[in-house]
Structure 1
Amino acid sequence: VERGWVCCVLLLSSLAVGAAARKQLEVDISDFDEDMGLDAVMDEVHSDETDATASGKVTYKTPVPTGDVYFAETFDDGSLESWQLSKTVKGDADDEIAKYDGKWAVEQLKENKVPGDQGLVLKSRAKHHAISAMLSKPFVFQDEPLVVQYEVNFQDGIDCGGAYIKLLSDTGHLNLEQFHDRTAYTLMFGPDKCGEDYKLHFIFRHQNPLNKDLEEKHAKRADVDLKKFYTDKKTHLYTLVLNPDNSYEMFIDQSSVSRGSLLNDVVPPVNPPKEIDDPHDSKPEDWDERAKVPDPETAKPDDWDEEAPAKIEDPDALKPEGWLDDEHEFVSDPSAEKPEDWDEEMDGEWEAPQIPNPACETAPGCGEWKRPQINNPEYRGKWKAPLVDNPNYQGVWKARKIINPEYFEDLQPFRMTPIKAVGLELWSMTSDIYFDNFIITSHKEVADRWAADSWGLKKLVASANEPGIFAQLTIAAEERPWLWVIYILTVGLPVSLAVLFCWPKKPDEDYVYKKVDPPQPDTKGVRRRRPREPQTSCEKEEGTERL
């Protein structure tokens, strides 16, 4: 009974460990799959598509915007007629790489293809790329939100490079053939990665109302780990919502990853401080910032020896017996010979290489013996007076504040420079970066419907092609090696417990005990009779019958 209870308790413990591993795996697989109140849209649009996917067929139709938009592009016609390749060069690059000669193509995805769906693909590595397209009408930042959305798939992963877009400013003289890194833009949005730094950019250019200078403002970093979106080779949906009340929110796959205010959550801040340190103010020469000072009333004791060394020779140490004073620790190799091509005029006098002295191998040591060093009990170091509170302490000096001559207050940073075009100006060390389904609108629901007709179908196809549970477990363990321990415990522990605690115990009657003969005195030379083996009960009965 006791073994049964122990077995049950341990089995339940192993099942709990397995449940924890399963929960961790589910979290890994379902990151960012939480819906954002879009179930009604997704269910309505994809009900037929889900049935088709389940039956092994996918029906794709080029999405059509369901409301007013400023820009929409699917690339499903296979052409780039509405896009303009840059014909200029990058200003601050070497001539060999200054040209925007990176190749673009319209292709299907490498994996999880949706028949009929195509996208824009960056084809070259280690080259500058620049391509842009005009909006159907300029967007003016007034009373309507700005919603920017598009898809990205790092089909071969990403080493170093970006997949962000620029919304180009309506300056009155925008020429897309001359689109380059210094072309005026209003905001920049999208993923970027170099090394192990994974970013989701939202940068806007704010105009100083006093001097009309433009300064980049960077939104705070995303609140989640972005690595997954750069490495899983899946198509991800990036959305930026910018509202007239100066609030913003960024989404990946329709899940919020960052939100904030243009007034409070960007670096550097939109509005400068009202007061600044007076640049002409300086600390007085007699200003005392020392909180503690040496006690002037104390003196060094007369017996304080500052010259005493920290280490001295151990007076009790004795030279070990057998120490070879006359032998060197290293000697010249007697078997070494001067190379034939050795030129003493060029190479100097030849000397045989040094090797450990064979005579010292069995001795406790060779050469001059020196006593070991020990801490000096008389050492006290340099004397310093104890510290006391400084009666003249004035605190840490700070410059006086003055009114900031460059101060201004802009309470509506949302009202940026109008935008007239969308562009991709990129450098990447990885090729085959896939872009698709750009949309710029003022209505989040329009962007959601557009995503349901495009990215939502890609997601269904990718989900249908997901590997089995064992492949998922292996992939998860490759990213988190500690999961192998949980897998082994989950499988091996129940089996081991079943063998150790639940296997039937062998009854005592099945054991045969061997009788040990008692010790006999040593009778050397005396012939002894071999003791007779005791009779078993069966033998006794047989003997009785014979009688």
Structure 2
Amino acid sequence: MHHPVGGRSAQAQPVCKALRGLKFLSTSRNTAGSISGAPDRANQKAPPDRGREKKTHLRAAMSRAKVPGPLWALWLMRAALATVYFQEEFLDGESWRNRWIPSTNDSKFGHFRLSSGKFYGDIQKDKGLQTTENAKFYAISSRFKPFSNKGKTLVIQYTVKHEQKMDCGGGYIKIFPSELDQKNLNGKSQYYIMFGPDICGFDIKKVHVILFYKNQYHSNKKPIRCKVDGFTHLYTLTLRPDLTYEVKIDTDIIESGSIEEDWNLQKIRRMEKSALKMPENWDKLSQNDKPSDVPSQDWDKHLLDASANKPSDWNSELDGEWQPSVIQKPKHKDGLKLDNSDYKDVWLHKKIENPGYLQDFEFLEYEDIGVIGLELWQVRSGTIFDNFLITDDENYAADFGLKTWGRTKDPEKEMDMIQAKEEIKKAREEEEQLIRENIKEKYFQSQTAKDEL
């Protein structure tokens, strides 16, 4: 629920802060992908909703926060508005293996372990899934109760830490339909959404946002740069039913806009349709004999470049269907006359709005979301994935990000700095020790030479 900045009285603001805090406490317990254990099998069912447990924790949280009684019903309504479909923080040790199913599609897939890394802000809270083997493909996934995001906001969030200073490899996640066979997860498994950083060499340092629609994968055409250091970063993707989106890194909005425009969907919105019937003898008519009521402002003034060739590295799955570039026609007159003798007058189809576009367009509607997974390649291992969240509430996602990544990011950097200083100190001590040993050796050599004389 969104509120204007000036929409609350000064007296109500502290209470609302308390409610937001309670919202985090209660809703985080009521998740399909909670930290409780689950049967260790590939297609396990999500644990049932614990409505009674949720109410118990709500009452306890309300009591601790001392929220006035009349606000109890208001808080219940507010908390019910936030739905957490999946949440994973790996706070229960090795029990994560009951919830995350590694793919056995290829015996050469790399293995994951639970680790907080070499440096961290909190040794327990910063534990996540870490890749362990160099030059390997990885495939692992976790199941939750299937849901549809039709008419709802969808927020996908997680943290990723390239502790090894990634040189080439993926750090993205994928959202799959519930019918996914987790044991056979591989690069050809159909997914709904792919989101997150991808790094390889100097050229590729991007954040992928790929959406599945009409049996094709559509990639955001805007270049979104990812973080390339060795620290933990929070990645958030928000997809709204009004066809707008946001990509955040560390709570900062780095890209946003219209899904229709940024995923090259204008061709779906517009269709070619002739406003006037082309005369049968069109090619034989002179320019002066052609209809004078042709609306020149509505005619396409470009031609497809027949000499254009599809690039050799074009990937239809990631880049979409390739189309040749367009070139502008020279000097139109009334939208039809071309002064260049190399061209002939052509009947140009008027492009009009497709009246059924909004009804047919379901680009963001996925009826059967049920699995989250990692399916990627890494040259150097060491990446840690943590704090997974799928929800329909942007405020809850923001709170969750601050209560996880937000609390450990600064201590993590401090620990890294301390370790760096200790390593420098150790290197200096080793160098000084080596110099002393060299001096000592030279001294004994000189003394031995004098004794021999």
Structure number with greater Rg is 1
Confirm or deny that 1:413 pairs with 2:363: yes
Q: 1:254 aligns with which of 251, 254, 259?
A: 251
Unpaired stretches in structure 2, ≥5 consecutive residues: 1-15, 22-34, 36-56, 59-78, 275-282, 284-337, 422-453
Q: Which residue of 2 aligns with 1:181?
A: 187
Q: What do residues 451-489 of structure 1 show as CA deviations (whole Å, max 9, x unaligned)?
A: 122101111313544759xx9xxxxxxxxxxxxxxxxxx
SS of 2:385 mapped into structure 1:
strand
1:398, 1:74 → 2: CA distance?
65
2:140/2:373 contact within 8 Å kept: yes
2:133, 2:166 → 1: CA distance?
13
2:109, 2:162 → 1: CA distance?
20
The AA in structure 1 aligned to 2:212 is: R
Counterparts of 1:164-179 in structure 2, within 5 Å, are 164-170=172-178, 173-179=179-185
1:167, 1:149 → 2: CA distance?
11
Confirm or deny that 1:73 pairs with 2:99: no
The AA in structure 1 aligned to 2:207 is: L
Q: Which residue of 1 aligns with 2:8?
A: none
SS of 1:221 mapped into structure 2:
coil
Alpha-carbon spacing, 1:268–1:127, altered in 2? closer, same or farther (3 Å): farther
Normalising by structure 1, what TM-score?
Answer: 0.46
Unpaired stretches in structure 1, ≥5 consecutive residues: 1-39, 46-61, 90-98, 208-213, 278-283, 285-390, 472-547
Q: 2:386 aligns with which of 417, 431, 436?
A: 436
Q: Which residue of 1 aligns with 2:268?
A: 271
1:128/1:428 contact within 8 Å kept: yes
Alpha-carbon spacing, 1:134–1:465, altered in 2? closer, same or farther (3 Å): same
Q: 2:153 aligns with which of 116, 140, 145?
A: 145
Alpha-carbon spacing, 1:159–1:397, altered in 2? closer, same or farther (3 Å): farther
- Aligned-residue CA RMSD (Å): 3.8
Alpha-carbon spacing, 1:263–1:87, altered in 2? closer, same or farther (3 Å): same
Higher helix share: 2
Confirm or deny that 1:195 pairs with 2:201: yes
1:145/1:244 contact within 8 Å kept: yes
1:401, 1:160 → 2: CA distance?
48
1:169/1:186 contact within 8 Å kept: yes
The AA in structure 2 aligned to 1:87 is: T
Q: What do residues 198-234 of structure 1 show as CA deviations (whole Å, max 9, x unaligned)?
A: 1101100112xxxxxx1111113346x53xx21x211
Q: What do residues 257-312 of structure 1 show as CA deviations (whole Å, max 9, x unaligned)?
A: 111222111146571641299xxxxxx9xxxxxxxxxxxxxxxxxxxxxxxxxxxx
Alpha-carbon spacing, 1:250–1:392, altered in 2? closer, same or farther (3 Å): closer
SS of 1:185 mapped into structure 2:
coil
Alpha-carbon spacing, 1:464–1:84, altered in 2? closer, same or farther (3 Å): same
Alpha-carbon spacing, 1:242–1:100, altered in 2? closer, same or farther (3 Å): farther
Alpha-carbon spacing, 1:403–1:184, altered in 2? closer, same or farther (3 Å): farther
Sequence identity percentage? 30
SS of 1:238 mapped into structure 2:
strand
Aligned length: 283
Q: Which residue of 2 aligns with 1:236?
A: 233
The AA in structure 2 aligned to 1:183 is: S
Q: What do residues 26-45 of structure 1 show as CA deviations (whole Å, max 9, x unaligned)?
A: xxxxxxxxxxxxxx989x97
Confirm or deny that 1:122 pairs with 2:142: no
SS of 2:396 mapped into structure 1:
helix
Counterparts of 1:371-390 in structure 2, within 5 Å, are none
1:180, 1:276 → 2: CA distance?
42
2:212/2:218 contact within 8 Å kept: yes
2:231/2:413 contact within 8 Å kept: no
Q: 1:450 aligns with which of 378, 387, 400?
A: 400
1:155/1:432 contact within 8 Å kept: yes
Residue 398 (structure 1) shift: 7.4
Residue 68 (structure 1) shift: 2.8
Residue 178 (structure 1) shift: 1.2
Q: What do residues 357-378 of structure 1 show as CA deviations (whole Å, max 9, x unaligned)?
A: xxxxxxxxxxxxxxxxxxxxxx
Counterparts of 1:106-505 in structure 2, within 5 Å, are 106-117=114-125, 118-135=127-144, 137-170=145-178, 173-196=179-202, 197-207=204-214, 214-222=215-223, 225-226=225-226, 229-230=227-228, 232-267=229-264, 269=266, 271=268, 273-275=270-272, 393-394=340-341, 396-397=343-344, 400-401=347-348, 409=357, 410-465=360-415, 467=417
Alpha-carbon spacing, 1:144–1:272, altered in 2? closer, same or farther (3 Å): closer
2:17, 2:187 → 1: CA distance?
38
Alpha-carbon spacing, 1:239–1:440, altered in 2? closer, same or farther (3 Å): same
Residue 174 (structure 1) shift: 2.5
2:273/2:349 contact within 8 Å kept: yes
Alpha-carbon spacing, 1:134–1:401, altered in 2? closer, same or farther (3 Å): farther
Alpha-carbon spacing, 1:466–1:157, altered in 2? closer, same or farther (3 Å): closer
2:147/2:367 contact within 8 Å kept: no
SS of 2:248 mapped into structure 1:
strand
SS of 1:205 mapped into structure 2:
strand
1:176, 1:146 → 2: CA distance?
23
Alpha-carbon spacing, 1:270–1:219, altered in 2? closer, same or farther (3 Å): farther
Highest relative contact order (Cα 8 Å, sep 6+), 1 or 2? 1
Q: Which moved further from structure 2: 108-117 or 161-170?
A: 108-117
Q: What do residues 419-457 of structure 1 show as CA deviations (whole Å, max 9, x unaligned)?
A: 110011011111010100101000011112211221011
Q: Which moved further from structure 2: 253-262 or 456-465?
A: 456-465
1:427, 1:41 → 2: CA distance?
43
Alpha-carbon spacing, 1:242–1:270, altered in 2? closer, same or farther (3 Å): farther
Q: 1:85 aligns with which of 93, 96, 102?
A: 102
Residue 122 (structure 1) shift: 1.0
Alpha-carbon spacing, 1:160–1:198, altered in 2? closer, same or farther (3 Å): same
SS of 2:130 mapped into structure 1:
strand
2:124, 2:380 → 1: CA distance?
26
1:458, 1:70 → 2: CA distance?
24
2:365, 2:267 → 1: CA distance?
12
